[in-house]
């Protein structure tokens, strides 16, 4: 319990210092929480990757991967698209905040100014409400009530944590106004010093996590080609579905009894007379893929022979790496058509935008 042993100006100053000690951690938290939101909003409005839906972000990721032309990164994306999306956003946020412009500091300073001004306004408003109240002896208790409720929107300072100082005999409420202004100044300076070496680990709730929430949705992957369901709702009703399926080699499919990799897409296979194997020795016609049980029965794969030029370019360009990865060959029914090999990276990228 907090006790003030001396009266007058000294007791008010001590009260103000004690209260500011309580405010300090709440202010720190509020500044970083506000900054994380501000960064996420700023990037949403200024960076094209983040101002659409998840499908448009996927297009941005595919463009990034093609421009890098790094097979290892493609592998990570194809294996765990959800994790890759998170890491992609995280890298973009880090670059945006910590590049030569050090935007992070600017965001932190803006948040601090906003929170600091709100605290000062709450001090002023509480003083105004309480100073002329002749009907109350417990002016400090009333002042703390007003102060905590004024701050509610900006920072979390529970009124119950201040019970130890609510019975102080402080009558000069106007002087308290000045004492608070003085006691608050070091809090601001301390935070400003901290900002110069702040990095992304300073956040409890990361800006990239806030950004990624916008792109939540279904992460189920097609059992044939591995492409991610395009439904924007997690646990959505109805079947999983896709705009474009991909060559089945991307999940390692081979023609039975050979090491020939499959370049067909699922949406053309379901219109063919081909079969696929489930388990050791069960063969199911692609046309009746739903009979294969879970997860096949949860997908709607309408017949459609159209394949994105992007994946034709990818298979041609990374032919050797794919053969090594899946221990197979692009031969026989898996022969890569000459027309695929003529597709340039730029044509692949252009097709993505359509």
Over 205-272, what HEC string results?
CCHHHHHHHCCCCCCCECCCCCCECCCCCCCCCCCECCCCCCEHHHHCCECCCCCEECCCEHHHHCCC
Structure tokens at 236: 């959505």
**Domain spans, the chain:** 1-208, 248-352
In this prediction, residue 2 carries a pLDDT of: 45
Residues 151, 116 contacting (CB under 8 angstroms)? no
In this prediction, residue 257 carries a pLDDT of: 92
In this prediction, residue 10 carries a pLDDT of: 67
Residues 226, 250 contacting (CB under 8 angstroms)? yes
Q: Look at the block and give the residue holding tokens 């210092």.
A: 17
Distant-in-sequence, close-in-space partners of 72: CB < 8 Å, separation ≥ 6: none
In this prediction, residue 1 carries a pLDDT of: 40
In this prediction, residue 323 carries a pLDDT of: 98
Q: Look at the block and give the residue holding tokens 């003529």.
A: 342
Mean pLDDT per 10-residue interval, the chain, length 354 residues: 48 87 95 97 95 91 97 96 96 94 94 96 91 73 91 88 75 83 94 93 95 92 96 92 94 95 96 93 95 96 94 98 97 96 97 87
Q: Is the peptide bond before 295 cis (omega within 30 degrees of 0)?
A: yes
In this prediction, residue 101 carries a pLDDT of: 82
Distant-in-sequence, close-in-space partners of 46: CB < 8 Å, separation ≥ 6: none
In this prediction, residue 4 carries a pLDDT of: 43
Structure tokens at 269: 């296979």
CA gap 187, 175 in Å, rounded: 20
Q: Which residues pair with 285 in a beta bridge?
A: 275
Structure tokens at 312: 């034709």
Cα 282 to Cα 275, 278, 354: the distances in Å are: 10, 5, 39
In this prediction, residue 130 carries a pLDDT of: 84
């Amino acid at each position: 319990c907090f006790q003030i042993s001396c009266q007058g100006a000294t007791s008010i100053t001590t009260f103000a210092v004690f209260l500011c000690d309580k405010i300090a951690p709440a202010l720190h938290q509020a500044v970083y929480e506000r900054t994380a939101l501000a960064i996420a909003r700023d990037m949403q409005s200024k960076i094209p990757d983040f101002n659409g839906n998840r499908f448009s972000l996927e297009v941005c990721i595919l463009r990034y991967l093609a421009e890098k032309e790094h097979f290892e990164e493609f592998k990570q994306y194809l294996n765990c698209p959800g994790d890759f999306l998170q890491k992609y956003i995280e890298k973009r946020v880090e670059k945006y905040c910590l590049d030569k412009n050090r935007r992070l500091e600017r965001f932190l300073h803006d948040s601090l100014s906003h929170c600091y001004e709100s605290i000062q306004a709450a001090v002023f408003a509480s003083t105004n409400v309480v100073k002329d109240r002749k009907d109350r002896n417990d002016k400090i208790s009333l002042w703390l009530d007003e102060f905590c409720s004024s701050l509610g929107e900006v920072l979390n300072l529970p009124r119950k944590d201040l019970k130890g100082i609510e019975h102080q005999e402080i009558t000069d409420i106007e002087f308290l106004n000045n004492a608070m202004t003085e006691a608050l100044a070091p809090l601001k300076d301390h935070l400003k010093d901290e900002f110069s070496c702040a990095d992304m680990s300073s956040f409890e709730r990361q800006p990239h996590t806030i950004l990624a929430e916008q792109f939540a949705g279904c992460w189920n992957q097609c059992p044939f080609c591995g492409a991610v369901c395009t439904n924007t709702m997690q646990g959505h009703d109805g079947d999983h579905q896709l705009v474009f399926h991909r060559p089945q080699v991307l999940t390692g499919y081979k023609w039975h009894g050979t090491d020939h990799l499959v370049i067909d897409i699922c949406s053309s296979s379901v219109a063919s007379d081909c079969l696929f194997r489930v388990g050791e020795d069960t063969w199911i016609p692609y046309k009746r893929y739903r009979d294969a049980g879970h997860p096949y029965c949860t997908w709607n794969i309408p017949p459609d022979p159209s394949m994105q030029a992007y994946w034709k370019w990818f298979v041609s360009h990374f032919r050797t790496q794919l053969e090594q990865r899946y221990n197979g060959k692009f031969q026989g029914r898996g022969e890569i058509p000459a027309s695929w090999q003529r597709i340039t990276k730029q044509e692949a990228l252009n097709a993505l935008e359509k």
